[in-house]
Amino acid sequence: MRILQLCHKTPLPTIDGGCIAIHNITKCLMDSGMDVKVLAVATPKHPFMISAYSKSYLTATRFESVFIDTTPHKVEAIKTLFTGKSYQISRFYHKNMANKLIETLRQEEFDIVHIESLYMSPYIPLIRKHSNAKILMRLHNIEHQIWERLADNERNPFLKLAYRINTKQLKRVEHRLLHEVDGYMSISEPDYRYFHETAPEVPGIVIPFGIDVDNYDMEDDDYIATDQPALFHLGSMNWGPNVEGIEWFLDEVWPEIVTAHPNLTFALAGHNIPEKIRTRHDKNVTVVGAVPNANEFMMEYDIMVVPLLSGSGIRIKIVEAMALGRVVITTTIGAEGLDVQDGKHLFIANTPEEFVMVINKCVAMPDLCTIISENARHYVSVNHNNSVISKKISEFYHEITKK
């Protein structure tokens, strides 16, 4: 089967969850024996860096990218508030990418064009015009839900209004586009239920984020068993919900924790940490910034804190941390899409008091943390294993092409 994978960002280097998710889909498709071509948008945040790609990958995927300056511009964003168009999506359409797509579709025939996220949806009319391929969309999140939750938590009245309008625009786009594709893959069961209720006649399937479990090896002494665990957060900090959550944690939770446990430390890692966080100088907090190897970084620490107050979809770094046996403390929103149990696979806390209580428990009960570590790793090996996911994708693709 011949697949064109149309991506809204370059898959490599895997600097954030979206890149990892795209790259893993490519790998799953190729592992299933499919012929995959990757055509990606390169952006200022996700430029094409040839050093990140092996020759074998470039050859196997016939990889190509087109640069689009997707940098948000306030004037353009304000204009679209009154046009009904989604500025978040329209930023990803450019005539150069359109021309490259048309050229690709004329040169090769494909059975399926796999679109990564809503952001590549403006190209659907071109695909329909120049190809008989089925169109399948990978939905990384319920996009409007992210902005809806940001609006709920925003105090600035102008930004709150802008977020509300953007939410309505994205919701309309989501509803319309579901009826324009031949099938879709959601990343979690809650997302699938929402999309299925919106367009019950469109074939859909849950394809969770997957990993190659063998790449997350652990030794017995890597499990948590200390009364002075080191805390950390790892995530792309150019994503609003991550910044929002970390500021909340540092303001509302960390002062009480560090007072009760003066030796506890908290490391903040990730790309594009904003200046307002870098210059806070909270006690026992180290701002690490970008790390060359996420797995190696996570293995240096014990407990991952993911205090998300908004967002949607699966938090990929949580899955990776669990695969490495790290104890995860997150919110109900952070655990969305994961079939996990609070107190068995990870800990869920939604208020400052609950975060303090859980961290105190982790300090007082290191043996419990070891059990959580073991359960977390087993959960990922069963539910997020690429070898199982590859088979599900292949079966769904064949089903779509027969319709």
**Helix, strand, or coil here: 106?**
helix
Q: How far is CA 338 from each of CA 132, 191, 222, 232, 234, rounded to the nearest angstrom? A: 36, 11, 24, 21, 18
Of 200, 231, 243, 244, the closest CA to residue 356 belongs to 231
Domain range for 159 is 2-210+385-402
Query: Do 338 and 309 lie in a common domain?
Result: yes
Tens digit of each residue's pLDDT (9 = 90 or more) over 221-274: 555 556 689 999 999 888 888 999 999 999 999 999 999 999 999 999 998 899
Query: Do 201 and 244 lie in a common domain?
Result: no
Query: Do 177 and 236 lie in a common domain?
Result: no
Query: Do 195 and 260 lie in a common domain?
Result: no
Tens digit of each residue's pLDDT (9 = 90 or more) over 9-40: 999 998 887 888 899 899 999 989 999 999 99
pTM: 0.74
217 pLDDT tier (thresholds 50, 70, 90): confident
Query: Do 114 and 64 lie in a common domain?
Result: yes
Specify the pLDDT at position 74: 62
Query: Do 247 and 169 lie in a common domain?
Result: no
Query: Do 151 and 234 lie in a common domain?
Result: no
Specify the pLDDT at position 72: 73
Query: Do 183 and 228 lie in a common domain?
Result: no
Q: How far is CA 47 from each of CA 40, 69, 179, rounded to the nearest angstrom? A: 10, 10, 32
- Mean pLDDT of all residues in the chain? 89
Q: Count up the domains in the chain and report the number.
A: 2
Query: Do 199 and 262 lie in a common domain?
Result: no
The arithmetic mean of pLDDT across residues 191-198, rounded, is: 91
325-338 burial: b if 16+ Cβ within 10 Å, else e = bbbbbbbebbbbbb
Tens digit of each residue's pLDDT (9 = 90 or more) over 343-364: 999 999 999 999 999 999 999 9
CB 123 within 8 A of CB 99: no
Query: Do 171 and 218 lie in a common domain?
Result: no
Query: Do 154 and 247 lie in a common domain?
Result: no
**Helix, strand, or coil here: 312?**
coil
In terms of C-beta density within 10 A (0-12 exposed, 13-18 middle, 19 or more buried), how is residue 51 classed?
exposed
Cα–Cα distance, 125 to 257 (Å, whole number)? 54
152 pLDDT tier (thresholds 50, 70, 90): confident
Tens digit of each residue's pLDDT (9 = 90 or more) over 61-85: 999 999 999 987 665 555 555 565 6
Joined together, the tokens standing for residue 74 give 């306030």
CB 254 within 8 A of CB 285: yes
Query: Do 119 and 242 lie in a common domain?
Result: no
- Write the CATH number for 73: 3.40.50.2000
Specify the pLDDT at position 299: 92
